[in-house]
Chain A
Amino acid sequence: MTSRRAAALAALAVVAPVLLGHTTGIASVWYRIVAIGVTYALMTLSLNVLMGYAGQISLGHAGFLAVGAYTSGLLTSRADLSFVIGFIVAGLVGGAVALLVGLPALRLRGLLLAVTTIGFLVMMTESVLQWRWLSRGSAGVELPRPELGPISLAENSDYLAFLLLLFLAFWILDEHLTSSRLGRGFLGIREDEQVAASYGIDIARTKLTAFVLSGVLAGIAGAAFGHLALLVNSSTFSLQFSLSIVAWVIIGGLGSRVGVAVSGLLFGIFPPTFERLITWDPIRDHLDNLVLVIGATLFLVTITINPNGFVGAVREKREEKEADAARKALRAGLDDAEDPTLPSLPVPPARHGDLAPGTTVLEVSDIVVRFGGLTAVDHASFEVKAGEIVGLIGPNGAGKTTLFDAIGGFNQPRSGSVRLLGRDLSDLPAHERANAGLGRTFQRTGLAMALTVRENLLLAQYALASYDNLAALARTSAVRDAEAVLGARADEVIEALGFQAFSDLPVRHLSGGQRRIVEIACTLATAPDLLMLDEPTAGMAPAAVENLADRLRELRDEHGRTILLIEHHVPLVLDVCDRIVVLDQGRVIATGEPDAILSDANVLQAYLGERAARQAGLLPDDDVAGERDGELVG
């Protein structure tokens, strides 16, 4: 939203209700009804930050609202402070409580996290909110209508003007959030924590930030609601209410700003409106409950059709159409374009600049990874020098990806060390290793599937934007400049890929080969010193595979990159690699240049089994029979 537009909306938000309230005869209760809707929208927006963007399910959101309402109430009614202080402190306390509730989220995910948030809420309603010195028993906390100097907001219409301003502020903050690295970090951890970490996103920190931000907003929303209701107590913020907010957010569409705001607004406005408009007694008496039944049914129907809500369903329909159109457009331009090849991409300079040839980039020593009784990687050691393409090959289950994970910090080796450019990374978490200069792709294709191609490229550049979270929320000019650079880089890549038609489509609509290419482009966008590719040809068409070899050479020769490559496509490996490391049953059984590897007896045995290798004439006759094969032959 431009600042001029924001100013115009702010003026409208203030002038319209105030003018209407003081000049027309519309009953005061109507302003109150709209105000309820606006406070509900504030609540859904605050929950959407946590559940929609960051993907952290919280069923105890009413607990944060309660904290805000109680805080502002105690400060304004008992300590007689200004409501400005009340709202600010409500936000701060809401954030602090959310931080505590979010701590288990560092270890827990999904359902189990949901259970702790319910436990939190029930503790609040059944105990904390009823503590006598807090609430004077069940009477609750009073929240007087705000007064600021001579201006009193006692009239519903005037308070509505204030609420609309607050709503505008939430909206703009939300816009700033989603267009910054912070918001992208939220989406990243929602989509795939491992991929997020590989882009240098600190999972733990980002999760807690989401809790705190959501808690701050909820605290303020709770205060806004409280000052409207004038009195709150433990039953105001019941479990039922908390779960209803979750339902509104889901009906509106997880992660959809417009959807959740509209949903909250309508669920706030409809029940009291019907109650006033419908005068037929048999229905009127049961209206509240009828609305509840309809709301719950609507929720069930929505989630059954699409867990991302109504908006999600509509969005997916539209995307399907666009994906079809984009595919057709691409096919019209090229002959055999279902699986495009990887073109030359603009590559940002590596983090540590050009390295002198012969510098040791990666030094893996004595890595052991065990899963239960299984030793997946068994004292593996090898080195990668600057400007080399090193292939890591081995039969299925040899431990290649496990070794990749160990290098990248995605599993916990029992022993051994990993050094990058001389720096010991062994004790660092995955995101810090990424920031040290490791870039990797995943065998399963590491992309944020629900995000668009462009969003993925922006997400990949997470660590390259250097502004902090508060600047992101304020969207300072430094942030705008930094974002412009990231956006330009993303667009350059998209253009080079020829993916303009796909750039605003979620990557899950792309073919396997297209995804691979986007993934490699994303990893390159992180500006790594060492590029680690895990089976890049899986899902690629043969033409694309041949082309990949040229691109890898180009990265080495023209961009001075160092590459470690896991690959099953042996011709590619032999063609492109300077050296090859062979892994079998977790052990490095050979290291050397392609020719040497090709004639290495151990390697042939590992790949073909001794008998087959001998029959093919690949092994000399006097070689001693291996035990494994001997057993097989019996």
Chain B
Amino acid sequence: MTFALVSGVVVGAIYGLFAVGIVLVYRGSRVINFAAPALGTFALYLAWTMTHERTTSWWTAAILAILATGAIALLFERLVVQRMHAASPLAIAVATIGLMLLLTAIELLFWDPSPRFLPGPLEGDGIRVAGLVISPTQLLSLVVVAGLGYGLTQFLRRTDFGLGVQAAAMDPAALRLVGVPLAEVSGFVWATGGMLAAIAALLVEPTIGAFGPGFMTQAFFVPSLAAALVGGLDDVNGAFVGGIVVGVLSELTSWAFLGSSVPGASTVAVFILIVVVLLVVPGGLVGALRERLRTNLLATATGGLS
């Protein structure tokens, strides 16, 4: 079971990274970017092509793939999202499905459906925790996730632009009046969302092994959405925590149903989690817990005073 817990944290961190990309876009435009995992897969194909058909190093290929994915997301924002300014967020979210279908179709067209493998950047044996070998790439991903999480939070809190991002979806008209560059904010959240998806995909692929067209969508789509929802959908830190929650939940369920005749039990658990969170704590589990904690602390504090 400890095994499941540890691997839940490792994979959960990746869910969290996807989820943060989704949350950023949601903050900036009230749209759920259904194409986030598809952008991740696309980055894998780009990186694979650079490392296998050229002799680019993993790091160069990864950086180029991340930038290219960000550019694709930005292009989508400029060509589609900006033009749909009069449409509902729901319609734009449906448009992201179009992006996802398009990326997958392009993968099928230019590469073939056969599975590919992209090794990680670091070699070595890794370390053992509770019987589980954590590979160097997994360690790296934990570090990257933590670093990105901290960096993003600071950026959103401390800079004017970051505050603009935080406020962007609330009242566009008012924000324009106070000088928030809404077009830049929108471009930023979509591009960053794309890059985060690329980073997540590159970090998780070596652990999973092979990938194919539309691969990330199949495996990461629903868990990342669940992570974002558990975090409250517009809470960056919440999304990381949500990722861990979902990761641990799915690994524990898989572990509990190991060898039974029920395959994919974790997807059932994640579906139930989504429904329960949305119905019971629509503001997100993390937000609700934080609120509870705050009231309790406040009660203790004021209780102590009286």
Q: Please list the residues of chain A having a beta carbon within 8 angstroms of any beta carbon in chain B.
A: 57, 59, 104, 107-108, 110-112, 114-116, 118-120, 122-123, 126-128, 130-133, 238-240, 243-244, 246-247, 250, 286, 288-290, 292-293, 295-297, 299-300, 303-304, 307
Contact A307 B87 (CB under 8 A): yes
Task: State A108–B101 Cα separation when bound (angstroms).
Answer: 26
Could you mark each residue 195-230 of chain B with 1 if its beta carbon is under 8 Å from any beta carbon of chain A, else 0? Answer: 000000000000000000010011001100110010
B113: nearest residue on chain A (CB-CB)? A289
Task: State A110–B32 Cα separation when bound (angstroms).
Answer: 11
Choose one: B106, B226, B262, B265; the contact of A119 (CB below 8 Å): B226
Residues A122 and B79 in contact in the complex (CB < 8 Å), given A112-B282, A115-B274, A299-B98: no
Could you mark each residue 86-118 of chain B with 1 if its beta carbon is under 8 Å from any beta carbon of chain A, else 0? Answer: 011111011101111110111011000000000
B150 at the interface (CB under 8 A from A): no
Q: Which of A104, A108, A111, A293 counts the most chain B CB atoms within 10 A? A: A111
27 A-B pairs (CB sep. < 8 Å)? A57-B94, A104-B278, A107-B278, A107-B282, A108-B279, A110-B88, A111-B32, A112-B282, A115-B278, A118-B225, A119-B275, A122-B221, A122-B271, A127-B263, A131-B262, A132-B261, A240-B214, A286-B109, A288-B108, A289-B105, A292-B109, A293-B109, A295-B101, A296-B98, A296-B105, A297-B102, A307-B88
Given A289-B105, A300-B80, 18 other A-B residues pairs in contact with their CB atoms under 8 A: A57-B90, A110-B90, A115-B225, A116-B275, A119-B274, A122-B267, A123-B268, A126-B263, A128-B268, A131-B261, A131-B262, A132-B261, A238-B218, A286-B109, A292-B108, A292-B109, A304-B95, A307-B84
Choose one: B94, B104, B261, B268; the contact of A307 (CB below 8 Å): B94
Choose one: A111, A123, A243; the contact of B267 (CB below 8 Å): A123
Could you mark each residue 279-300 of chain B with 1 if its beta carbon is under 8 Å from any beta carbon of chain A, else 0? Answer: 1001000000000000000000
Residues in chain A near residue B31, CB distance under 8 A: 111
Task: State A110–B271 Cα separation when bound (angstroms).
Answer: 17
Could you mark each residue 63-88 of chain B with 1 if its beta carbon is under 8 Å from any beta carbon of chain A, else 0? Answer: 00000000000000001100110011
B270 at the interface (CB under 8 A from A): yes
Task: State A570–B32 Cα separation when bound (angstroms).
Answer: 46
Shortest Cβ gap from A506 to chain B (Å): 16
Contact A290 B109 (CB under 8 A): yes
Residues in chain A near residue B95, CB distance under 8 A: 300, 303-304
Residues in chain B near residue A131, CB distance under 8 A: 261-263
Residues in chain B near residue A112, CB distance under 8 A: 229, 278, 282
B264 at the interface (CB under 8 A from A): yes
Contact A110 B109 (CB under 8 A): no
Task: State A126–B274 Cα separation when bound (angstroms).
Answer: 16
Residues in chain A near residue B101, CB distance under 8 A: 240, 243-244, 247, 292, 295-296, 299
Residues in chain B near residue A288, CB distance under 8 A: 108
Contact A303 B84 (CB under 8 A): yes
Shortest Cβ gap from A537 to chain B (Å): 26
Q: Please list the residues of chain B having a beta carbon within 8 angstroms of any beta carbon in chain A.
A: 31-32, 79-80, 83-84, 87-91, 93-95, 97-102, 104-106, 108-109, 214, 217-218, 221-222, 225-226, 229, 261-265, 267-268, 270-271, 274-275, 278-279, 282
Task: State A114–B265 Cα separation when bound (angstroms).
Answer: 21
B32: nearest residue on chain A (CB-CB)? A111
Contact B217 A239 (CB under 8 A): yes
B104: nearest residue on chain A (CB-CB)? A240
Contact A118 B221 (CB under 8 A): yes
Task: State A106–B156 Cα separation when bound (angstroms).
Answer: 35
Residues in chain B near residue A126, CB distance under 8 A: 263-264, 267
Residues in chain A near residue B264, CB distance under 8 A: 123, 126-127, 130
Contact A107 B279 (CB under 8 A): yes
Task: State A17–B214 Cα separation when bound (angstroms).
Answer: 38
Residues in chain B near residue A289, CB distance under 8 A: 105, 108-109
Task: State A163–B105 Cα separation when bound (angstroms).
Answer: 30
Task: State A131–B221 Cα separation when bound (angstroms).
Answer: 22
Shortest Cβ gap from B212 to chain A (Å): 12
Residues in chain A near residue B102, CB distance under 8 A: 293, 296-297, 299-300
Task: State A244–B32 Cα separation when bound (angstroms).
Answer: 18
Residues in chain B near residue A300, CB distance under 8 A: 80, 95, 98-99, 102
Residues A120 and B97 in contact in the complex (CB < 8 Å), given A131-B263, A293-B105: no
Task: State A296–B96 Cα separation when bound (angstroms).
Answer: 11
Residues in chain B near residue A104, CB distance under 8 A: 275, 278-279
Contact B263 A307 (CB under 8 A): no
Contact A303 B267 (CB under 8 A): no
Contact B271 A123 (CB under 8 A): yes
Shortest Cβ gap from B59 to chain A (Å): 31
Residues in chain B near residue A244, CB distance under 8 A: 101
Residues in chain A near residue B93, CB distance under 8 A: 111, 114
Task: State A110–B87 Cα separation when bound (angstroms).
Answer: 13
Contact B80 A304 (CB under 8 A): yes
Contact B100 A122 (CB under 8 A): no
B233: nearest residue on chain A (CB-CB)? A112
Task: State A579–B3 Cα separation when bound (angstroms).
Answer: 75
B263: nearest residue on chain A (CB-CB)? A130
Shortest Cβ gap from B302 to chain A (Å): 17
Residues in chain A near residue B265, CB distance under 8 A: 127
Shortest Cβ gap from A336 to chain B (Å): 32
B108: nearest residue on chain A (CB-CB)? A289
Choose one: A114, A132, A295; the contact of B105 (CB below 8 Å): A295
B105: nearest residue on chain A (CB-CB)? A292
Choose one: B94, B109, B278; the contact of A116 (CB below 8 Å): B278
B102: nearest residue on chain A (CB-CB)? A296
Task: State A244–B217 Cα separation when bound (angstroms).
Answer: 14
Residues in chain B near residue A295, CB distance under 8 A: 101, 105
A291: nearest residue on chain B (CB-CB)? B105
Lowest 8 A-B CB distances belong to which pairs?
A: A127-B264, A292-B105, A126-B264, A307-B91, A296-B102, A296-B101, A300-B98, A119-B271
Residues in chain A near residue B87, CB distance under 8 A: 307
Choose one: A108, A122, A133, A243; the contact of B222 (CB below 8 Å): A122
Residues in chain A near residue B275, CB distance under 8 A: 104, 116, 119
Q: Which of A57, A122, A131, A292 counts the most chain B CB atoms within 10 A? A: A122
Task: State A458–B179 Cα separation when bound (angstroms).
Answer: 47
Shortest Cβ gap from B181 to chain A (Å): 23
B223: nearest residue on chain A (CB-CB)? A122
